[in-house]
Amino acid sequence: MTEQTLTASNEGAARKPQKAGLEGIVAATTAISNVDGQAGRLVYRGYDIHDLAHATTFEEIAYLLWFGYLPTQAELATLQASLLAQRQLPAQLLTILRDLPAGTAPMDALRTAVSAGGMYASVQGQPTIEQAIALTARFPLILATFHRLRQGLEVLEPRADLGYTANYLYLLTGREPGAEHVRGLDAYLVMLADHSMNASTFTARVVASTASDLASAVVAAICALKGPLHGGAADKAQEMLTAIGSAENAEPWIRATLTSGGRLMGFGHRAYKTTDPRAEELREMARHADPVGFTFARHVEELAVAILDEIKPGRRLYTNVDFYSAVLLSSGGIPVDLFTPTFAVARIAGWTAHILEQAANNRLIRPLAEYVGPNAQTFVPMEQRQERQ
């Protein structure tokens, strides 16, 4: 058989539909969160993210997203006990994580483990809050277990005396984290827990709308989150800061990247046409957590925003959540390739809230495509087809 290069014909499909990327299309009604991209405002169930960021814990926010109201002390204690009870991995999952090929990316490990876990844990059938709690409890565990195994370290048992965020840090590092680190990561998890109809949440809702199970919808969401235009951008933002390397190199690096058609990671957003409110909070947190890293990142940010405005006038490109996430997570000792998985540790709360909301009032999500291919072609039988040159 002669070797052939396989090239698909995408002719015509490159033409963008009127609403390319479904921009501006309302795909669902939701009572979970709202993004006002013009005002730079994010609310969870009516509460402003600036009010929640430092005054609540991730568990409280998960409760708010799932149940619709902020918990009392007793309600929170019940949720914490449920999360604690689910903080364990089936033995088969440990084997799967141990057998992953060397060099497996953590997002791929998470996707594999959640997919496999869906088969023998109670996350199938009609989506329920109990299933959402079980998966949320297991995310940090899966990632920390994978991270320790890939370093040849002993896998640690979760500690009943530590909360969700402290446990994640403890299981990753083997050290009891300081209160400040826990607070910083908790605020990060709170701010990234939900964001209306982002790409991964939409993906989860599409899968849920087919009456599939919760684990399958979450696996699909993980696949969407890992792309560099979505959650994968925090790793890339850190790589960009590392590549820039010095304050003097920032301007030539940014200009060279933009003039060669590249994108600046951690900048721009489909919804926000002003600074992302989460980026404002994260900027202040990074200022305190890592003053040196902050000063450099701030310099890059100021230059990037000005040069983007010059080279891409009118596009209104500002810092998004991923830019200062990179600085904050680095300062907290989270390895770069765990940035996006840590985003998932937060977003599992939002994904599952949306899956539950979709399932409770479901209609199959099935949009249309504008057909731009050829019409009325004459069929040619195989024996009469000419080889392509």
Q: Which residues here bind ligand COA, judged by CB under 6 A?
A: 21, 229, 233, 258, 263-270, 312, 315, 317, 320-322
Cβ-based nearer residue to ligand COA, 158 or 232: 232
* Residues 73, 65, 347, 112, CA torsion sign: positive
Cβ-based nearer residue to ligand COA, 279 or 356: 279
Q: Exactly one of 181, 276, 322, 354 is catalytic; which is it? A: 322
Say which DSSP state 40 is in. T
Amino acid at 87: R
Cβ-based nearer residue to ligand COA, 265 or 297: 265
Cβ pair 185, 332 in contact under 8 A:
yes
Q: Is 269 a catalytic residue?
A: yes
Q: Is 161 a catalytic residue?
A: no
Cβ-based nearer residue to ligand COA, 209 or 257: 257
Contacts of 339 (CB under 8 A, 6+ apart): 234, 235, 238, 325, 326, 329
Cβ pair 344, 112 in contact under 8 A:
no
Residue 355 burial (C-beta neighbours within 10 Å; 0-12, 13-18, 19+): buried
Interhelix angle 129-150/91-98, rounded to 10 degrees, is 40
Q: Exactly one of 195, 269, 276, 354 is catalytic; which is it? A: 269
Report residue 256 as tokens: 């060279």
Give least dist CB 301 to ligand COA, A: 12
Cβ-based nearer residue to ligand COA, 19 or 98: 19
Give least dist CB 320 to ligand COA, A: 4
Give least dist CB 377 to ligand COA, A: 33
Give least dist CB 36 to ligand COA, A: 16
Cβ pair 285, 187 in contact under 8 A:
yes
Gyration radius (Cα) of the chain, Å: 22
So which residues are the catalytic ones? 269, 322
